[in-house]
Structure 1
Amino acid sequence: MNYKTLDSTKTYFITGAAGFVGYFLSKKLLDQGCHVIGIDNLNDYYDINLKHTRLENLEVYEKFTFIQEDISNKEKLFSIFEEYKPNVVVNLAAQAGVRYSIENPDVYIQSNVIGFYNVLEACRHYPVDHLVYASSSSVYGSNKKVPFEETDFVDNPVSLYASTKKSNELMAHTYSHLYKIPSTGLRFFTVYGPMGRPDMAYFGFADKHFAGEPIKIFNNGDFENDLYRDFTYIDDIVEGIERLISVPPADSTPHRVFNIGNNNPEKLMTFITTLEKCLSHALGEEISFNKVYEPIKPGDVPATFASTERLQEAVDFKPKTSIEEGLQKFADWYVTYYSIKK
């Protein structure tokens, strides 16, 4: 085990700081006395009010500096590196969503490819101790072998979003090799929790139910061959990132990739019935969704399942939060944040 505590004398630059993972990571670092520079373009892909709520929670910290800007603005990004000289960069800014990448591909190229290229260029010209960046379990495509291991062949992505994340890994590998930038890519597996992304299924199910609308389940109504997802609670994701930040790769292998997943996939229907129970508990009355079953969407994969052995070997950590515990925390937050009454 190489895990050690974070160095609070360093400056941490977090892109996508008003996003779901970016917010919780920023808060964790700030709680440990670290200096955090956060950047976010505050786009309206989902409810902007949620992003502002996250930022308000961060702006109470003296050591937090927020800059509203887009990482695709190379000149501005370079000026931030010039001024703040970050020691560690965590790139979480990206256009998220598999299905949305089919409808609006331009924004994925702009943010996920051009934006990430700009981050790499900035790390090249203003050397950093460690670059950590978000990849995705979607790079595994429709791989049949489970659990997914970091050494698996990942050249068959089934969505543009997945293609951009695979591109990020290739770009980071090249820049690490050429310019000796210590880099770590993180393949996240279906992150969920309080203050999460409203475009994610569990959040959308709650929204639909309380709006009096049916929820759409894209599994053909086939419970025998249901979709499986390795749902990973936000606190586990953040702890994995935090531990890896302080253990940059060795000079001999300056680029590496880790899965961060729960290593315990659940059927989509099990996840949905658990969410119903958790919302019922939060409200003190029985909740039952009106369900409509539809065909699997293009770009969706049948299963995600993370091998976490490499993560455990590196920093002695494996995500451990059950969906019962994680969804209850989401449900409790949801009914409070949106003032849901019985």
Structure 2
Amino acid sequence: MSVTFIPIERELSFFTISLKAPTIGRFESGVRELNAERKSSRLTFGRKVAKNRYLLLMMMPGAIYLLINNYFPMFGTVIAFKSVNYSVGILRSPWVGFDNFKFLFRTSDAWTITRNTLLYNALFIVVTPIIAVTFAILLNEVRNRLAARFYQSIMFLPYFLSAVVVGYLGYSLLSTEFGFINTNLLKPLGADAIAWYSEPKYWPFILPIVYIWKNIGYSTVIYLAAVIGIDNEYYEAALMDGASKWRQAISITLPQIRPIIIILGLMAVGHILNADFGLFYQVPLDAGALYPTTNVIDTYVYRALLTLGDIGMSSAAGLYQSAVGFVLVLTVNLVVRKFSKESALF
């Protein structure tokens, strides 16, 4: 009987090859897949653009508007640090450092305009969401769709009126001789006519009323869209537990729309030094007697520009307002993030 021996080296090499072959095959296939992914990733951007071309075309007008009106003018911030000489142009005008900023703080009206701007805007930031959310919840309870749309349209209409129109509507109500309030309300009661445009004490009440009347419709529509987006199952479960409408609003509606309220509040804080120019200039009809309660940073800078003709000072005021607003937004957003990350703006 003969016995055949296989060399151990040959046996081991056979097993080594048999074990390595699948591994090498998988490696090569992985390399091919990686190369294919890299090749496809180069085409991904173009494919995405082609796929979303209609959405991009729709977005283009808004993007162009933002570039022209919000980003390109940023190059003009250099004007705030120059004494503009029109004969040599902006770029060749001499640098003056922070001298253009001094006129805001050295003027005798600095405290008045800063106080008025901050107090009015703080009032608007606090009061507007309260009223708008209330109206949004009430409109959401209107089951008649035609009635709901009618109420929305009536509330939204003043938002589209220009400040000039609003100013003369106010004049038709407040005119000393021909105003509706003096001739149709006070006179029949035997009361003396009030010179509304000569008495500053009334305007801290008049201006907020006008602002809310004009802008509350816009805010209400935003909050109404948020309320409508709440899942109806929450309310059905609350009804099964016997919750009243008030309890539903407090426990369901407000917590669900809280991120929207906070985001809009953050955006409003960023404009706390930017007053509504039309409200404070057109509605009081630029009456000098009302400056103690109607003069804000924007109207003061506008009058200074008309008097002095120095665009460097007005640019400095605008840059100051934007810088303070930017810092405030970052600060408030940081505070919000500590309590609720999902409610923060970024």
Pairwise same-fold verdict (TM > 0.5) = no
TM range (shorter): under 0.3
The structure with more strand, counted as a fraction of residues: 1
The structure with the largest alpha-carbon Rg is 2
The TM-score with structure 1 as length reference comes to: 0.24
Greater RCO (Cα-Cα under 8 Å, separation 6 or more): 2
The structure with the largest helix share of the pair is: 2
Q: TM-score, normalised by structure 2?
A: 0.24
